[in-house]
Amino acid sequence: MNALVNVVIPVFAIILLGYLIGRFKVLGEASSEALNGFVYYVALPVLLFHSVARLLPGKVFVWAYIASYLAAGFATFVIGALVSRLIFKRPLAENALSGMGSVFGNTGYMGIPLAMVSFGDAAVLPAILATVLHGIIWVPLVLAMVEIDTRRNGGGRLGEIALSLACNPILVAPLAGILWSLTGIPLPGPVDNFASILGASAGPCALFALGMFLVGRTVHEGAGEVGSMVVLKLLFHPLITWFFAFHVFTLEPLWASVSVLMAALPAGANCYVLAQQSECFVERSSTAILISTVLAVATVAALFTLPIMTVP
């Protein structure tokens, strides 16, 4: 419980600090948008490239873990998107962002340290792999769905959609990282240090910008959609992951437990970053992140009382 509180409180404090700075207009009204632009076009692509490029191919492709984690993720994503489509009658772009809010967890800035504290150094690799999968699967998928919806409504053609995706830094960066990883060549020292310093700013800046965005907005807007995302993220996603990890793919106990922990984390700040850049679903994404982060103190603490989180 102490480990969880020590991880969640700093995340929530960064959001709160951003809110206070925005509330008292210390940085000006355009600062939230500028910070999001920095995260989206600079810091996050560097982080995604760096996270993937440093991993050796033999360690990255743990196929049973990948299959289990993605199967649970896709199941949850589809449920979230269908709820958005069938119940709330939202368009494709918002279906995608709703699905992302139901499955994309804060694995990088909460999950990795929490896994390490809870299970030891051996848990770092599966936690990092979960973070990499988020970057190379969910971000490109959601971007593609948003782009298709936007271009379709604006009369765009398939070639224009493909070109837009090919030029998107959030999609290009992890793919470049995979290609570098396959070479087996370590990143040069200066490049590694540059990426470490710059990439580390992505999470804090996104959380800070999220706090600024919340100024003057009510957290009960779109309560039904926000509630569905929070329930899917904190309850259904870990439950579905438990089923695949322990009963379908029967992973090693440590990897199975870490996969459930990664699935049980609150929605990550990148959900807000993509919503902000897409100019839709912004209020509901930001509210889902805030509420799921607060509630995760209780839900993740409850998770650790279960036998499945006891690794021999």
Torsion over CA of 48, 187, 192 and 120, rounded to 10 degrees?
A: 70
pLDDT at site 59: 62
The closest alpha carbon to 52, from 166, 139, 128, belongs to 128
pLDDT at site 112: 76
**What rounded mean pLDDT belongs to the chain?**
84
pLDDT at 153 over 60: no
- Amino acid letter, residue 276: Q
Question: Band of the pLDDT at 199, cuts 50, 70, 90?
Answer: confident
Kindly list the distances between the CA atom of residue 31 and the CA atoms of 195, 209, 214, 285, 288, in Å, as whole numbers in the listed order. 24, 8, 13, 19, 22
Read off the DSSP letter of residue 62: -
pLDDT at site 236: 97
Backbone torsions φ then ψ of 267, nearest 5 degrees: -60, 140
Using CB atoms within 10 A of its CB, is residue 279 exposed (0-12), middle (13-18) or buried (19+)? exposed
pLDDT for 103-150, tens place per residue? Answer: 999 887 678 778 877 888 788 778 878 887 887 788 888 888 888 887
What is the CATH number for 12? Answer: 1.20.1530.20
CA-based Rg of the chain, rounded to a whole angstrom? 19
Alpha carbon distance 229, 99 (integer Å): 8
pLDDT at 53 over 70: yes
pLDDT at 310 over 70: yes
Alpha carbon distance 46, 135 (integer Å): 12
- Cα dihedral across residues 29, 108, 275, 156: positive or negative: positive
pLDDT at 157 over 60: no
Pick 124 or 312 by higher pLDDT: 124
pLDDT at 69 over 70: yes
Question: Alpha helix locations (H) across the chain?
Answer: 2-23, 31-38, 44-53, 57-60, 63-82, 92-103, 112-119, 124-133, 139-154, 158-166, 169-183, 189-199, 202-213, 223-231, 237-243, 253-263, 270-278, 282-303
Winning range, highest mean pLDDT, from 29-38, 58-67, 164-173, 186-195 = 186-195
**CA triplet 202, 205, 209: central angle to 5 degrees?**
135
Question: Band of the pLDDT at 58, cuts 50, 70, 90?
Answer: low
pLDDT at site 88: 93
pLDDT above 90 coverage of the chain, percent: 29
Residue range 27-47: mean pLDDT, rounded? 81
pLDDT at 32 over 70: yes
Is the pTM higher than 0.75? The answer reads yes
Residue range 195-220: mean pLDDT, rounded? 79
Cβ count near 48 (within 10 Å):
28
Domain containing 118 equals: 2-309
pLDDT at site 144: 84
Residue range 245-249: mean pLDDT, rounded? 95
- Amino acid letter, residue 89: K
Domains in the chain, number: 1
Question: Band of the pLDDT at 166, cuts 50, 70, 90?
Answer: low
Residue with tokens 């979230």: 80
pLDDT at 90 over 90: yes
pLDDT at 250 over 60: yes
Pick 8 or 141 by higher pLDDT: 141
pLDDT at 33 over 90: no
pLDDT at site 160: 59
Alpha carbon distance 138, 96 (integer Å): 9
pLDDT at 158 over 60: no
